[in-house]
Structure formats: structure tokens, C-alpha cells
Amino acid sequence: MPEGVTDPNYKPLPGRLGNLTVIQQHSLDKLKRELKEEGKFVEERMDDATLLRFLRARKFDVAKAKEMLLNAEQWRKDFGVDELVRTFDFPEKVEVNKYYPQYYHKMDKDGRPVYIERLGLLDFKALYSVTTSERQLKRLVWEYEKFTTERLPACSRARGHPVETSCTILDLGGVSLTNFYRVKDYVMQAASIGQDRYPETMGKFYIINAPWAFSAVWSIVKPWLDEVTVSKINILGGSYKDMLLQQIPPENLPKEYGGTCECAGGCSLSDAGPWNPDAQVVDGKK
């Protein structure tokens, strides 16, 4: 069983620490040994849970998982991830939030951090008057790093067992095909980074308020995603509240989505969650 487990009811899913087959354990040991022998092992980033994410993403094929991991490491160098983590600042956050809200907010019933993105509010012209697509991408990577190093560990401590994935709500209410096509390159880059550089971190994914024209958008995005990712996506129309509340406690779900949470200054800017105990909420629950 993984270290730090205090939840007596925790049962690891297959392919996770505490629930590995003999073959899976052998694959983990082999991957770690080869990385060390080749001088490619990075101790602060390659714990067993992380190596298992890459192995699951490649169905425990050690050669393919190692290739994926080393490609991710090269990407980190090329993108300058370590420097980004140390120095990145996003002072335009409040302004960007007006035109393209993207934020983490509390946990679902399984302890996953909830991530909400309101693509339907996108105002392309206003957005790129206050930021750039390059800075948006850097912010995305910075958030992924914070997700893996701060948000997930905080959620794990709060729940008493490992939490390795997120619960995402993508709100397409009011989206236009014109605006989507203008940002499709960013959306595809974001999907590629999540899938290839931070694999197996998607737990639940709800696409809500999907308009009738969404099939055209989906036909563009879907080929960029692997089968496992696609299988985790629930596409909903306007009748989504009951399904969201099955997964997210009402006090953790923003009021506009059927919950009861009303954070001071707005949920999209509160960064409320166990990773931020100082966040203020109107209903008194964190």
C-alpha cells in the first residue's frame, strides 16, 4: 500500500501502487532499472506513482513507456519547464478571467481537484488584447506543474489516500464555431500537452452545454486524443446538473452549475481547495 494512506476504505485501482500484478510490478522495476542504468532517472520527478502513469498510458509496454517519458523530459528542457515554475507570473489573470475563465475549484466526491473551463465565454479579441497564446500556454504548463506538485498532494492528504487525477468541467455554453476555430491551435496544443506530458491525470471529464454544432468541433479534437482519454469524456447538453452533483458535492460546485458555493470575489478567482486553506467562501465551507 502507498505511504500516507489513512483511509481504511481505500482500495487502489488496478495498475496503481498497492494493486499491481506480478507482470506490472516487473514492468515498473524494469523501467526504473533501465532509466537508472542509462543515467536518465530524475529522482524528484520519477517516483513509482509517476512511472506507473506512463506505464498505464502505454499499457505497461516498458519500451513505449520509456520512450514517452524520455520525450516528456526532452520537452521539459525545450519548453523550459523548470525555469517556468521558478519565475512565471501571470498578472493579467483577473483580466483573462473575464474573457476565458479557467480555474481549479475544490474537490469532487473522490477527492479529485475540480477544474472548470468556460470556453463559451471566450472573447477572442478582448482576450488577446490582454495576453497572448504563448503566455496562455505557459500558464497551462505552470498550472499542470502546480497540479502535480501542490494540488494533488493536498487532495491526497485531505482524503487520506492517493489522488492522481482531476475532474474537469468544460462549459461550451454560448460557444461559437468562429471563436473556436480562432483558438483551435491553442486547444489542440493544450490537449497534446496534457495527454503526452502529463498522462493519466484525467479522471472525469464533463463537456456541458454542448451546442448542436459541437459535433463539428468534436470531429476536429477527437482524433488528437487517445481512446482511453475519449472514453472518460461525457458530452452533455443543458441538462447536466444532476450528473455533476452525482460526482461533486453541492458545497464544492459553483452556484451557476447547480451547486451552492459562492466564493468571495467569485469562484473562478478564489483558488479554493485544500491546497489553499486561506480561500474565502460565502457559505463558510472550504
User: What are 238-250's pLDDT values in tens digits?
Assistant: 889 999 999 999 9
| Cα dist from 218 to 10, 221, 234, whole Å | 36, 5, 12
Q: Please compute the mean of the pLDDT values over residues 203-211 and round it to a whole number.
A: 89
Q: Answer whether residue 86 is part of any domain.
A: no
Residue 46 structural domain:
1-79
CATH at residue 211: 3.40.525.10
- Domain boundary pick from 14, 45, 79: 79
Q: Answer whether residue 73 is part of any domain.
A: yes
Q: Please compute the mean of the pLDDT values over residues 93-110 and round it to a whole number.
A: 96
> Do residues 51 and 145 both lie within one domain?
no
Nearest to 102 by CA among 267, 280, 273: 267
CATH at residue 10: 1.10.8.20
pLDDT of residue 282: 52
* 171-198 pLDDT tens trace: 988 877 777 777 777 878 888 899 999 9
> Do residues 184 and 140 both lie within one domain?
yes
User: pTM for this one?
Assistant: 0.91
> Do residues 53 and 124 both lie within one domain?
no
Q: Answer whether residue 196 is part of any domain.
A: yes
Residues in the chain: 286
- Domain boundary pick from 33, 54, 79: 79
With bands split at pLDDT 50, 70 and 90, how would you rate the model's confidence at 284?
very low
Residue 168, beta-bridge partner list: 115, 205
Pairwise pLDDT comparison (210 vs 132), residue with the higher score:
132
